[in-house]
Structure 1
């Protein structure tokens, strides 16, 4: 029987690359995103490569929509084998300027969304006696927010929460479900445009591989975590940043 992956934030960049690579690895992929145009383009790329995809337009911060989507995916495919919580929202506003609504939204999209989908997917995986979950954290969770627009304190706090959630759920859901997080460094996408070319060049000088990461760099690790057998990796926050250091 074909395995099934559910990917949030699948409409562009890392999420799109992960969805495509999971489809290439043989998964039917359920795509979730707020952007209809983006998600349909991802589905078209998967279809053109001979894969199978379904699309679900939703705000990942909404608990009820997560419940509905998981139920629809389960009904359509009969199972969910892999969940990738990739959806995220940047926030470059500092503590002195941010308001409550902006803070709450950052936490909801980045952290609560992981709870929303894990809460509904985990019972299915436990019932089928297998499953893998990966949530997208960030290097900012480990180093703290910096001056880049994407990683001020609220973003870093949400992404750090993902690591705590991951480690706790690895214990709670093991041995049936493996739960891991990924902490990307600076990835060549719209993030590069946000931080500015000069900053991007500084980042390249400060990592061992002397380049920015790509969405495919992340997708390759996601596919590994979704498919590797035997599996002895859980509760980990895997840093993928070309070994960022202070030169």
Structure 2
């Protein structure tokens, strides 16, 4: 019987350079899942632009990618995902290397509130949807205008298993991710054949963002999963890189669960 082991969080992606000659924009990429995705895309040869709100952590993230992938082409463009001007600037930076954005990964997401919807602050709910859904659409529109509409490309939206099954604890966040999944399907139908649009839906991944979901203890959370561990960022990055590349050329409108079997087990 195979041992149940936890992979390291060091990037361990393909050396096939399958994304060489392509430009990628990864939002919310100063840490965690976004940084891991950006590193994996760079490892596969893409010129990567990363964006997030805070300049210093973002530049540190860019340096970590350069250290992990010697020779990588990496640009850091700080900005607020909710700002049309900041989105346009990030997209323009990403397009500068190839004349278009070939790959967009919408990873930016927030969850400032926990608990049931009946006690949720509506301004906070609006903010969640504005960042998690509206800003994602805004980035896609901007990339479309910046060359993806004529040259084609791929979009990967980072959703969540909370968008596929009720949680109670992060209800507003889950509703926003359900909307993002539906947006993915609508855009896949609208933008094909030139642009493929897919999503991934992770369960709990060990990041700073997920700390509030691990308060009961990592082992307790992992016990709910058939694979008996929570995720690490590279689990998500590998699947995103697959969806961004030619190996998935007949996949669009799909949401891939990355959940250690949680939903299959009914957890």
Alignment partner of 1:126 is 2:149: yes
State the Cα distance separating 1:191 from its structure 2 match.
4.4
Alignment partner of 1:88 is 2:109: yes
Corresponding residue of 1:137: 159
Alignment partner of 1:237 is 2:259: no
List per-residue Cα deviations over 1:74-130 (Å, max 9, x = no partner): 2344221100000000131432332232111111111111111001112411211x2
Alignment partner of 1:170 is 2:184: no
Alignment of 1:36-55 (within 5 A): 36-48=55-67, 49-50=69-70, 51-55=72-76
User: Which of 65, 89, 93 is 1:72 aligned to?
Assistant: 93
User: Which of 29, 43, 61 is 1:24 aligned to?
Assistant: 43
Write the distance in 2 (CA, Å) between the matches of 1:36 and 1:138.
26
User: Which of 75, 82, 102 is 1:61 aligned to?
Assistant: 82
Please say if residues 12 and 42 of structure 1, whose CA atoms lie closer than 8 Å, have aligned partners that are also in contact. yes
- With the length of structure 2 as denominator, give the TM-score of the two structures: 0.85
What is the SS of the residue equivalent to 1:221?
Answer: helix
C-alpha RMSD over aligned residues = 1.7
Write the distance in 2 (CA, Å) between the matches of 1:168 and 1:199.
38
Structure 1, unmatched stretches of 5+, are none
Higher normalized helix content (fraction of residues): 1
State the Cα distance separating 1:46 from its structure 2 match.
1.6
Write the distance in 1 (CA, Å) between the matches of 2:248 and 2:192.
15
Write the distance in 2 (CA, Å) between the matches of 1:31 and 1:191.
18
What is the SS of the residue equivalent to 2:247?
Answer: coil
List per-residue Cα deviations over 1:183-217 (Å, max 9, x = no partner): 00010122453123425323311211110110000
User: After the TM superposition, which parts of structure 1 deviate over 4 Å for at least 4 consecutive aligned residues?
Assistant: none
Alignment partner of 1:110 is 2:129: no
